[in-house]
Amino acid sequence: MTTVHVRGACPSLPAPMATGDGLLVRLVVNAPIPFDAFIGLCAAARTHGNGTMEVSARGSLQVRGFTPLSTPRIATALAALDIEINDGVPVLADPLPDDPASLIDANGVAAQLRAAIIEAGLTLASKVSVVVDGGGSVDLDAIAADIRLRAIMSDAGPKFELALAGDAVTATPIAVIEIEDAIGEVLALLNAIAAQGADARASDLVTSHSGRPRARPRQSQRARPMGRHPLKEDAFALGLGLAFGHADADALIALARIAKENGASWVRPAPDRVLLFGPLGAGGAVATRVAAERLDFITEASDPRRRIAACPGAPFCAHGLIAARTLAAEIARHVSLSGDGIAVHVSGCAKGCAHPRLAPFTIVGAEQGCGIVHDGSARDEPTDYADPADLAALLDRISTRDAVHA
């Protein structure tokens, strides 16, 4: 039986979330997905849903457009595929397998931790999560988590920095611990969170750990998932972005087949709305990148589409009052958006599903047309409105905002 989740909880196969275009299922993937399994997932998303697939900012896969009748069918299809899906507390680890820069096997630690959490039978809030960062070439710094483990090198060898409640910059550092002590330390913290109540988070523990010796937060100099990354044995992984975090299942199938023809054997969703393909030789990586560009995937970190968050909008979402994706594509074509981070948020309605946080410039669908919000979210009251057909005026307003160039 399928239970529809209320907004604010994490949607999953047993409990998908109701959205404007049907039910949404989020899949936290623990390991690289073999191509045949990935193609099977895309085909199932097209057959049982509306064919829209997404990679979230945290690197989760999302499939959309299901009904209470079709959700059990996608669950049955997934059960037959070789995809390792996290069905408990999300424990997120390095997205690159065989990363020569990794200090430890972060995915091995994460697997042990998942098993230990299941064995402990802890009852935790649905959004509680853990990050295990092995210190490899791709960082996990932007991912907020209740508990963060980050591998560092010391005179005695690799150790973990342990921190609570936030991303690499905002989390509260707790201590530097031995690698072999990580499972016990994390379980103790999760037990302490659970003891605070069913809705408790790690932020409830921060003050109680203020007296422990602390590690110092550091700014990462490592790479984001976009682009080419060296693996062991002279191979590479290629990170490709999805425009506004969305892609059609058929386009993803085509991309997977091309990558496979060029020598790759797996795909893995990664933070920042990226799919990693590998292992590829140098020539295969170039050929896959060229093909991805033809299929309208993002191949450059400087692509302006990476600075725009957009939901499906009308007509794909029943709640959408403006064609969010169409507007977002036009903005990307005509406005210079340099820098990093989301500069423009285009939301079909006031729910702000694509980007719940603040943005320098937000266009939100309203009965009066396009609501304009400066330095706020889609839920804020617009300062004025514009006709969606008057795209030129919208583009002019965005291009004159200094914040979008920061």
Same domain, 110 and 205: yes
199 with 152, same domain: the answer is yes
| 132 assigned to some structural domain | yes
Residue 391 maps to which CATH number? 3.30.413.10
Asked which of 240, 268, 301 is the last residue of a domain, the reply is 301
- Which pLDDT does position 11 carry in this prediction? 64
Q: How many CA atoms lie within 13 A of 125 on its CB side?
A: 20
Structural domain of 312: 305-405
Bridge-based pairing of strands 130-133 and 236-241 is: unpaired
Q: Is residue 94 part of a domain?
A: no
On whether residue 7 sits in a domain, the answer given is no
Same-domain check for residues 309 and 264: no
**Which of 301, 331, 346 is at the close of a domain?**
301
Query: 191 and 268: one domain?
Result: no
Evaluate whether residue 289 is within a structural domain: yes
What does the alpha-carbon distance between residue 75 and residue 89 come to, in Å, rounded to a whole number?
19
CATH number at residue 263: 3.90.480.10
202 and 233 in a single domain? The answer is no
> Could you give the maximum distance between any two Cα atoms of the chain, in Å?
63
| Residues 78 and 107 placed together within one structural domain of the fold | no
- Residue 5 has a pLDDT of 42
Q: Do 31 and 276 form a contact (C-beta atoms < 8 A)?
A: no
Tokens found for residue 109: 């630690």
Query: Does a structural domain hold residue 5?
Result: no
Are 277 and 294 in a shared domain?
yes
Q: Is residue 106 part of a domain?
A: yes
Q: Is 218 contained in some domain?
A: no
pLDDT (tens digit per residue) in 324-346? 989 999 888 887 777 778 889 99
State which of 175, 209, 243 marks the end of a domain. Answer: 209
The confidence score (pLDDT) of residue 12 equals 65
Same domain flag for 113 and 200: yes
Are 185 and 248 in a shared domain? no
Q: What is the pLDDT along the chain (406 residues), one digit of tens a residue?
A: 454 444 445 566 777 878 778 888 999 999 999 999 999 999 999 999 999 999 998 999 999 989 999 989 999 999 999 999 988 899 999 999 899 999 999 999 999 999 999 999 988 988 999 999 999 999 899 899 999 999 999 999 999 999 999 999 899 999 999 999 999 999 999 999 999 988 999 988 886 655 454 445 455 567 789 999 999 999 999 999 999 988 999 999 999 999 999 999 999 999 989 999 999 999 999 999 999 999 999 999 889 999 999 988 888 787 899 999 899 998 888 877 777 788 899 999 999 988 888 999 899 999 988 998 999 999 999 988 888 877 667 766 666 654 454 4
Tally of domains in the chain: 3
- Give domain status of residue 174, yes or no: yes
Task: Count CB neighbours of 228 within 10 A.
Answer: 16
- Asked if 205 and 157 sit in the same domain, the reply is yes
User: 114 and 59 in one domain?
Assistant: no
